[in-house]
Amino acid sequence: MKVTPWEVSGEIDYERLIKEFGTSPLTPELKEEITKIAGDHVMLRRGYFYSHRDLDVALRHYKEGKGFFLYTGRGPSGPMHLGHLIPMIFTKWLQEKFRVNVYIEVTDDEKFLYKKDAEWGEIQKYTIDNILDIAAVGFDPEKTFIFRDSEYIANAYPLILKIAKKINFSTAKAVFGFTNETNIGMIFYPAYQVLPTMFEKKICLIPAAIDQDPYWRIQRDIAESLGYYKTAAIHSKFFPPLQGIEGKMSSSQKESAIWLSDDEKTVRSKIMKYAFSGGQPTIEEHRKKGGNPDVDVSFQWLKIFFEPDDGRLRKIEEEYRSGKMLTGELKEILVEKVCRFLEEHRERREKAREEIKEFMYEGKLASEMWGKRFE
């Protein structure tokens, strides 16, 4: 198993990650606390978000009226796939329920620096494309600021420097695995990913996959010395690639992902062809022994997000496990759900074109942010 902000591979032992990163499991009590305030969400209930740092503190601040704010991000290295959208959807839900500000960092600098052959112009093209997909998730245009690093640096370089001054190479090397070959831009970049946790003098809550946690670990070491709160975080597992539940859906393995732009025919063909099945080799055997939903990617996708109805999911699970439902039938259910989701997403995406300006420059929060200078 390898888990860094730039690489996730092997069989993921999520419990081990909690121990290695030093985070805390998301307990039933804590989920219950969120549910009391915000209601229920499929990604909480089914354990897709499963670990945290100081979520209890963020909730306490909320209840005490001190509040909190949300921060998440996107590295615009290519078009977006389903795996990229999932934490955005959860973040949007939190915003809606807690009525808080959301900051979304689009890390064009990081992606340019990290990808050996990346051209700046190409990254910029994806930046605009990705922001449209993010806007389509339905964030509140008055309470959401989507920014790209290369633009907002104008307003925040001094605070980024203050953060950078607190992190030495030794720490960066230990936390991110930098080597002598790492370029000096990449070495500096973590300071920028820490920045948005200091956009307000409130506690920040970050919904993101657990591979991003090294940044928050560093943030928590230095935040108070700069006069800010240690950030809170709520960590998700990785959205599984079509080929199997190991690793994560990845842009660099084209056949592992369903892109937000994939049409119905493509979605069907990819799921039918690639989605790893927990079924048996022959119909006869399947009817007799049944399938294994625990390793079946189609079932896992339904569980994480696409079938929020617990009763229906239980029924699918039972029928698949018993052999009553065949792999093809299970996949058919997923195909339909994914296609409907993508169709609706693309409709919202078209409408979001007009909102981009609000999110990036003119909405209430965005225009406040462009009027600020972080020193």
Write the interaction track for a second copy spanning residues 191-220; mark x where CB under 8 A is met and - where it is not: x-----------------------------
The minimum distance between CB 158 and a second copy, in angstroms, equals: 6
The minimum distance between CB 250 and a second copy, in angstroms, equals: 22
Segment near a second copy (CB under 8 A); pick from 182-190, 195-203, 231-239, 303-311: 182-190
Distance of alpha carbon 66 from the chain centroid: 26
Distance of alpha carbon 308 from the chain centroid: 18
Task: Retrieve residue 265's tokens.
Answer: 């025919």
Among 40, 120, 314, 367, binds a second copy (CB under 8 A): 120
Of residues 88 through 107, those in contact with a second copy by CB under 8 A are: none
Q: Based on the shown chain and the rule CB under 8 A, indicate whether residue 166 belongs to the binding site for a second copy.
A: yes
Among 18, 58, 167, 245, binds a second copy (CB under 8 A): 167
* DSSP secondary structure string for all residues of 189-251: THHHHHGGGGSSSSEEEEEEEGGGHHHHHHHHHHTGGGT-PPPEEEEE-PPPPTT-SSS---T
Q: Based on the shown chain and the rule CB under 8 A, indicate whether residue 6 belongs to the binding site for a second copy.
A: no
Q: Based on the shown chain and the rule CB under 8 A, indicate whether residue 372 belongs to the binding site for a second copy.
A: no
Q: What is the DSSP letter of 6?
A: T
Q: Based on the shown chain and the rule CB under 8 A, indicate whether residue 364 belongs to the binding site for a second copy.
A: no
Q: Based on the shown chain and the rule CB under 8 A, indicate whether residue 179 belongs to the binding site for a second copy.
A: yes
Kindly tell me which of 224 and 309 has the beta carbon lying closer to a second copy. Answer: 224
Q: Based on the shown chain and the rule CB under 8 A, indicate whether residue 175 belongs to the binding site for a second copy.
A: no
| Whole-angstrom distance, CA of residue 255 vs CA of residue 250 | 9
Segment near a second copy (CB under 8 A); pick from 152-160, 201-209, 307-315, 318-326: 152-160
Surface-to-core class of residue 147, CB atoms within 10 Å of its CB (0-12 exposed, 13-18 middle, 19+ buried): buried
Surface-to-core class of residue 10, CB atoms within 10 Å of its CB (0-12 exposed, 13-18 middle, 19+ buried): exposed
Within 13 Å of residue 124, how many CA atoms lie on the same side as its CB?
Answer: 5
Task: Retrieve residue 369's tokens.
Answer: 């942010």
Q: Based on the shown chain and the rule CB under 8 A, indicate whether residue 369 belongs to the binding site for a second copy.
A: no
Q: CA quadruple 285, 287, 292, 297: dihedral positive or negative?
A: positive
Q: Which amino acid is at 290?
A: G
Q: Based on the shown chain and the rule CB under 8 A, indicate whether residue 14 belongs to the binding site for a second copy.
A: no
Q: Which residue has the tokens 């950078």?
A: 164
Q: Based on the shown chain and the rule CB under 8 A, indicate whether residue 168 belongs to the binding site for a second copy.
A: yes
Q: Based on the shown chain and the rule CB under 8 A, indicate whether residue 4 belongs to the binding site for a second copy.
A: no
Q: Based on the shown chain and the rule CB under 8 A, indicate whether residue 222 belongs to the binding site for a second copy.
A: no
Q: Based on the shown chain and the rule CB under 8 A, indicate whether residue 165 belongs to the binding site for a second copy.
A: yes
Segment near a second copy (CB under 8 A); pick from 36-44, 59-67, 151-159, 242-250: 151-159
**Could you report how far apart the first and last alpha carbons of the chain are, in Å?**
40
Task: Retrieve residue 237's tokens.
Answer: 């597992």
| Whole-angstrom distance, CA of residue 217 vs CA of residue 54 | 12
Q: Based on the shown chain and the rule CB under 8 A, indicate whether residue 188 belongs to the binding site for a second copy.
A: yes
The minimum distance between CB 122 and a second copy, in angstroms, equals: 12
Footprint of a second copy (CB under 8 A): 109, 112-113, 120-121, 150, 153-154, 157-158, 161-162, 164-170, 172-173, 178-185, 187-188, 190-191, 375
